[in-house]
Chains A and B, each alone.
Chain A
Amino acid sequence: DAGVIQSPRHEVTEMGQEVTLRCKPISGHNSLFWYRQTMMRGLELLIYFNNNVPIDDSGMPEDRFSAKMPNASFSTLKIQPSEPRDSAVYFCASTDRGSSYEQYFGPGTRLTVT
């Protein structure tokens, strides 16, 4: 298995632009998580999905952030408009409900907003 796949790996954009991050979970996993990691705040959960349905989005910073999971094999995290304070590494993780809650993380997307 290729593991969790994220794209792009690096994104540099200007303030005000729309940014879309993509994630392909491990095949067969039915839960997907989006995290953000910064030096100041550490690893924060933004939102998670069970069976493609958003369960808890209380970690989403504000309305500029939105996430979708149109099917079991694809999810997006969109920031519109982006701001410099959104600069961070964004991780996607997936897990199998039947497992012992091991979360498998992707390599992350390093976002820089100038």
Chain B
Amino acid sequence: EAQVTQNPRYLITVTGKKLTVTCSQNMNHEYMSWYRQDPGLGLRQIYYSMNVEATDKGDVPEGYKVSRKEKRNFPLILESPSPNQTSLYFCASSPSSGRLRDNYGYTFGSGTRLTVV
């Protein structure tokens, strides 16, 4: 089954304790992205990657790191989490070609609810 696997689903941590949210896709997609969802703000892009070893900042990158060493994996790293990073996080992947070949384009993970206390 084509999917984006994101873990963990829930995470509660303390301020300053480094954490990693994993994301893996099995569709050989070039493009992967991280979003955070906050009430009244919709989903905002944190970082994205066009392919292996090609990452770039989105709209809200402060406090986050990413890496893309393999095509299938795109982990999100919070080196020193703070309470304002409490949010719902989504990983998503997509083919990078301009004209979408299917009806979906984007495939989302199931989300990670992060609470930083």
Q: Do A and B bind each other?
A: no
Q: Using a CB–CB distance below 8 Å, which chain A residues touch chain B?
A: none
